């Protein structure tokens, strides 16, 4: 009987062991079972650069008056996207400031003219213009005469050289050489005379021009202090225009870069929420995947590696391709897995599963259009590390 009880107890223990649930494989065992020729990680689609929340300074108390674009529109840099309330009043203020600038500029011109009669000043200026034209014309004439004298001198020099050669050969008489020498001396003297004539003409006419300019200054009789006051008022008016332009810009929402409108956060009539921005803009013409690569695998990742990208939840069909373009320089926390599992309180320095390095993967241009409208979508990335393993072998 005692032996029977021992046998029954042994069978019960064996049954309990057979029915006990088997422990689930740990994250490390899953990682160990992953294919040796690839690295798999979660990531999310992002545009080149970052998503920009667009607003304007001092917009917290403003309401949107007009929205000039729609979600999905492509816009150019500095394009006006929306207009806030109060633009008509600001435009009127700017026109007033611009009119004041015109008045102050006219006042400066009036002060610079002094008390002289306009006809006298006009006549004096005409005299100066006439003398300047005369100087220009006469200078050209004198320079032409100099050019002619230079040509005559060159001809005389050639003649003299030829006759020197001929007399050395006994082909001509000494008198012929003397005649050539005389012509050469005459040509040199003529050229010097032409130069002196030009210099004298310039000196005379320039002196007359200076005198007429002095007469014009006397006619205008402008006091420097009066000009300074008028110009200071003009400068002040111009500064006012710049200020009005800046105030006007505060109600015009412009695109800081060229890109696509992803979302409009503030509609017509709504008050601007400065934390959200009026709208969101990004360069979706070049999409990237920010992948979270485990610290255990980061040494296998290299720039230029090819990547296969699939949607984690079926946001797009088929696979798209990409290339590793940038590898992060520090360890971070696994954001995407936290979002899926409800978060974790572990530290990236102590929780091994949370230690990751972010890697930027550029989506191939041929596949970019498939994910342009899927910013922040979660994806799964598979990096081909076959070449790296072959190199290490």
- Give the start-to-end residue ranges of the domains of the chain: 24-81+263-392, 87-111+234-249, 115-221
Query: Which residues have C-beta within 8 Å of that of residue 3, sequence separation ≥ 6?
Result: none
Whole-number Cα distances in Å, 185 to 35, 142, 157, 368: 102, 21, 9, 86
Lowest average pLDDT, out of 87-91, 187-191, 335-339, goes to 335-339
Strand order in the sheet with 64-67: 64-67, 80-84, 252-254
Joined together, the tokens standing for residue 178 give 């003397």
Helix (H) or strand (E) holding 289: strand 279-294
Is the confidence at residue 101, as pLDDT, over 60? yes
Query: Which residues have C-beta within 8 Å of that of residue 372, sequence separation ≥ 6?
Result: 260, 284, 285, 287
pLDDT at 35: 53
pLDDT, greater one: 221 or 249? 249
Asked if the 115-221 domain carries CATH number 1.10.287.470, the reply is yes
pLDDT at 1: 43
Q: In which band, very low, low, confident or very high, does the pLDDT at 77 lie, cut at 50, 70 and 90?
A: very high
Q: What is the per-residue pLDDT across 147-177, written as a single tens digit (0 to 9) for each? A: 998 888 888 888 888 888 888 888 788 887 7
pTM of the model: 0.51
CATH class, 24-81+263-392 region: mainly beta
As a whole number of angstroms, the distance between CA 135 and CA 258 comes to 56
CA-based angle 156:160:166, to the nearest 5? Answer: 145
Q: In which band, very low, low, confident or very high, does the pLDDT at 359 lie, cut at 50, 70 and 90?
A: very high
Q: In which band, very low, low, confident or very high, does the pLDDT at 36 lie, cut at 50, 70 and 90?
A: low
The answer to whether 301 and 327 have CB atoms below 8 angstroms apart is yes
pLDDT, greater one: 25 or 282? 282
Q: Three-state DSSP class for 184? A: helix
As a whole number of angstroms, the distance between CA 181 and CA 248 comes to 83
CA neighbor of 270 nearest in space, from 87, 86, 68, 63: 63
């Amino acid at each position: 009987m005692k032996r029977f009880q021992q046998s029954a107890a042994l069978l019960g223990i064996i049954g309990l062991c057979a029915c006990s649930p088997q422990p689930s494989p740990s994250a490390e065992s899953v990682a160990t079972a992953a294919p040796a020729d690839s690295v798999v990680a979660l990531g999310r689609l992002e545009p080149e650069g970052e998503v920009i929340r667009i607003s304007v300074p001092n917009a917290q108390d403003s309401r949107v008056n007009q929205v000039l674009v729609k979600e999905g529109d492509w816009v150019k840099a500095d394009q006006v996207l929306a207009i806030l309330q109060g633009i008509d009043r600001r435009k009127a203020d700017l026109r007033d400031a611009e009119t004041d600038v015109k008045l102050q500029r006219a006042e400066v011109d009036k002060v610079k003219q002094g008390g002289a009669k306009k006809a006298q000043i006009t006549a004096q200026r005409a005299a100066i213009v006439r003398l300047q034209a005369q100087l220009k014309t006469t200078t050209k004439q004198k320079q032409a005469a100099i050019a002619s004298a230079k040509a005559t001198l060159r001809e005389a020099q050639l003649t003299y050289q030829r006759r020197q050669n001929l007399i050395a050969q006994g082909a001509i008489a000494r008198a012929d050489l003397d005649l050539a020498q005389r012509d050469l001396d005459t040509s040199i003297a003529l050229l010097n005379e032409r130069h002196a004539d030009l210099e004298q003409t310039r000196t005379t006419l320039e002196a007359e021009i200076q005198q007429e300019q002095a007469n014009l200054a006397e006619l205008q009789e402008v006091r420097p202090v009066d000009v300074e006051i008028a110009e200071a008022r003009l400068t002040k008016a111009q500064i006012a225009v710049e200020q009005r332009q800046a105030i006007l810009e505060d109600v015009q929402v412009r695109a800081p870069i060229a890109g696509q409108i992803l979302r409009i956060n503030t509609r017509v009539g709504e008050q601007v929420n400065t934390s959200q921005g009026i709208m969101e803009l990004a360069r979706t013409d070049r999409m990237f995947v920010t992948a979270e690569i485990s610290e255990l695998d980061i040494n296998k990742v290299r720039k230029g590696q090819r990547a296969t990208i699939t949607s984690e939840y079926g946001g797009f069909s088929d696979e798209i391709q990409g290339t590793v373009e940038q590898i992060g320089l520090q360890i971070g926390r696994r954001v995407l897995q936290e979002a899926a599992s409800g978060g974790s309180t572990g530290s990236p320095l102590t929780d091994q599963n949370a230690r990751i390095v972010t890697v930027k993967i550029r989506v191939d241009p041929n596949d970019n259009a498939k994910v342009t409208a899927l910013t922040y979508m979660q994806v799964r990335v598979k990096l081909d590390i076959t070449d790296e393993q072959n190199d290490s072998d």
